[in-house]
Structure 1
Amino acid sequence: MSSLGLGFLNAKLIIKMGYFYFIKQESAPKRIGKFILVNILIALGLVVFFCPKCFLSLRGLKLIYPDFIFSFFMSSSLAFGGLVVEAYFNKKISWVNFPVKRLLLTLLIYLTYSFVVSYLISVIGYLIMFQEITLDNIDWVAMMDETIFPIGVALVLISLFTARSWLYEWRNAAIEAEQLRTEKLAGQYQSLKNQLNPHFLFNSLNVLTNLVYEDADKSASFIQQLSRIYRYVLDVQQEELVSLSDEIGFAQNYLSLQKLRFEENLIYEIKIDRIDNLYLPPLSLQLLLENAIKHNIVSMEHPLKISIYQRQDMLIVSNNFQPKKLETIDSKGIGLENIRKRYELLSDRQLEIIKAEAEFCVKLPLLTLAK
């Protein structure tokens, strides 16, 4: 009986673990069918383990038949109780919030249940299998002894299962926390991107308004160029990163657009060594170029010179520093701050800002996509 009791407790744990992996999400008939089948196989395995020779003859099979029935009911009862206890505590007490309380109550209730059920089934089994034993002459102390060792082993086994259950719930909690964090970051990033579209359009329309009064021909060319550029803005507004080649192409178009307005008062050069497999947040270059033009003097006496070039994994945008009176760089907080926050959300690398007496320089990290 002691060996069988140990086997039954072990079977209970196996059933519980298997049950939560492949039965929980199925329909009731399939769950019941698999529950019965698993317990039959466990009971059969125990009988084979303790009496392999019994299967060599018909007489042996008849002898072990009562043990098989006894094993099946013991295994099923313990497994069912374990499932009920765990299902109850899964709803009432979280491993994450109350680990000690969950552990103590699970052990207390399940071990109490296991002791009572093991004791009752053992008594009933003895009364059925041994007709000479009755309620009057049964050795109640001996029956209790039959459950002590299995309960002790059950402490070890249920501790292993409890550790698995605890880690499983902590993993789910970690996944949920990461999902919430990702959703929050995605929302923040989208909010930053949403600043760019109206910001770009508003500034472009301001420029167009001035050109209409200054030069009608220029304003017509400006509108044509603007339509092509704005198409790019619409295409990349849902992207987290764009290729360096696309962003350089957009920068060239944007500077050409500004040349219509400033002519020889604006000078620029672009020197890029490598553009393959390098990325940056969309419209980063446009924001830097717009800041340079917006906050610096652009005139025949003081032409604005903008350079875009690459050094290793950094894209550098620099201009001669000749700020307008009463202006500070990026006074509205849209440009540099927007880029900085987007880099913080996308990477652990930061942009670098270098402000000298005669030059203003911003270094953008060039990112690569994880394979």
Structure 2
Amino acid sequence: MKYFFLTVLYSIVITIVLMLVIAGFYLVNDGTLEIAFFQSKGAQTGLLRGIGLGIVGSYLSYSLHKAMPAEDLAWKRYFYYLLLSFIIVPIVILGMNILLFTDRSLDGIKAYVSELRWDFALFPTFTFIIIGSIFYGLFFYSSYKNKQIKKQKSIAGEATAQLETLKNQIDPHFLFNSLNVLIGLIEEDKQNAITYTKSLSSIYRYILTQKDKELTSIQEELSFARSYISLLKLRFEDGINYQEGIIEAESKEIVPLSLQLLLENCIQHNRISEENPLTISIYQEGSKLVVSNNLQEKNSPNPSTKIGLANIVDRYALLSKEEVIIEKSDTYFKVKIPIV
């Protein structure tokens, strides 16, 4: 019942709008418009026809949608709407005219039908089709936008899931590498191993607070990098040189823990000794933050989890249009990460 009343209401509104458009046309052509125009029998008949055809059109669309509910059948529904319009509208107009303009006797109906022109329902039919097409057009547009929204939500959901997976890699990756360093310290210097273990807790606390963020400030990451380098020096002492250039974008952001992963990457893949120290530099180069080290690759590198660098590349791919740049020569290895 509610659907019926809404259909009648919409039909009345649309019909009145059409009548106002026709009235405007008369006003432009004749220069005057009398109130008798709206009180005429033709105007009243037009109003009744409009309401009747509005109800018919609404239920026709409803029936087609019920018969063919699938979204991919929308164009088929529209085709049948056009086809049935040429059949249903003339029948409805004929029935309404008989009720309005005849005495509804058999002779009266025959006389009226015999005087009908072939195009008696042409204007109502095309008006019916145009209005219906507008509603179908709105439906197609709404359906298209909904598909786009669903697609974007799906992409966003997939990206979020991928990002969460990448974030969750950081904990075991850091723990794995830290334990390797701790094992080395225990073998070489037990006192430093104790100091390292105590310092490790504060470093790990930072990781736990940062790993769930999408971006963090460069200033925080640099502060962490200094602390992390100090921790590594407990084991390698003068085997590591750390240099930090002028960075003008400290207030801007990068992917959290990216510096930690890049520093680990330097340690894991290079030989480190006091005779041949590993020099790690962090500096700004345009819109990129650069982590560079002199290249002295291990002959028999430790088994790699292959997570660190790949993790950064994948996270930036999800969060930024800028790409991570990796450069390698005979003497150096550089990773340039975008500043957001």
TM (norm. structure 2) is 0.83
Contact 1:81 / 1:113 at 8 angstroms: preserved in 2? no
Residue 325 to residue 43, structure 1, CA distance change in 2 (3 Å): closer
2:81 corresponds to which residue? 106
Deviation at 1:223, TM superposition (A): 2.0
CA distance 1:66–1:144, shift in 2 (3 Å): same
- Most deviating of 180-189 and 300-309: 180-189
Name the residue aligned to 1:120: 95
Q: Distance in 1 between matches of 2:129 and 2:12?
A: 24
Distance 2:214 2:313 in 1: 14
Structure 2 distance, partners of 1:306, 1:184, is: 36
- 2:330 corresponds to which of 357, 360, 363: 357
Distance across 2 between alignment mates of 1:132 and 1:69: 26
Q: CA deviation at 1:198?
A: 0.7
Deviates more, 1:210-219 or 1:237-246: 210-219
Match of 1:253 in 2: 227
Please say if residues 239 and 272 of structure 2, whose CA atoms lie closer than 8 Å, have aligned partners that are also in contact. Answer: yes
User: Residue by residue, what CA displacement relative to the aligned partner does 1:108-148 show, whole Å, maximum 9, x if unpaired?
Assistant: 234433333233222222236x8897234322561763212
Please tell me whether the aligned partners of residues 349 and 365 of structure 1 are also in contact (alpha carbons under 8 angstroms).
yes
Which residues of structure 2 form unaligned runs of 5+? 24-32
How well do the aligned residues superpose, as a CA RMSD in angstroms? 3.2
Contact 1:288 1:335 in 2 (8 A): yes
Q: Structure 1 238/110 Cα, relative in aligned 2: closer, same or farther at 3 Å?
A: farther
How far residue 325 of structure 1 moved from its aligned partner, in angstroms, is 1.1
Percent identity, aligned pairs only, is: 32
Aligned positions of 1:40-79 closer than 5 A: 40-41=12-13, 53-54=35-36, 67=45, 70-71=48-49, 73-79=51-57
Partner of 1:344: 317
Deviations 1:210-267 (A, max 9, x none): 3234333322221222111111211122222222112111111111111111112211
- Output one character per residue of 1:173-213: Cα deviation in whole Å (capped at 9) or x when no partner: 12211211221122222222221111101211222233234
Q: Aligned pair 1:205/2:187, yes or no?
A: no
Do 1:47 and 1:64's aligned partners in 2 also have CA atoms closer than 8 Å? no
After superposition, residues 88-237 of structure 1 pair within 5 angstroms as: 88=66, 91-94=69-72, 99=75, 101-127=76-102, 134-140=108-114, 142=116, 145-237=119-211
The equivalent residue for 1:20 is none
In structure 2, the CA distance between the partners of 1:333 and 1:47, relative to structure 1 (3 Å rule), is: closer
Distance in 1 (CA, whole Å) between partners of 2:276 and 2:296 is: 8
Q: In structure 1, what residue type is equivalent to 2:203?
A: I
Aligned pair in 2 of structure 1 residues 231, 36: CA closer, same or farther (>3 Å)?
Answer: same
Contact 1:208 1:219 in 2 (8 A): yes
Assess if the C-alpha contact under 8 Å between 1:70 and 1:125 holds in 2: no
Structure 1 equivalent of residue 30 of structure 2:
none
Please report how far the alpha carbon of residue 295 of structure 1 lies from its aligned counterpart in structure 2 after TM superposition: 1.3
**Counterpart code for 1:205:** L
Q: TM-score, with normalisation over the residues of structure 1?
A: 0.76
Letter in 2 for 1:357: D
Separation in 1 of the partners of 2:137 and 2:15?
26
Partner of 1:81: 59
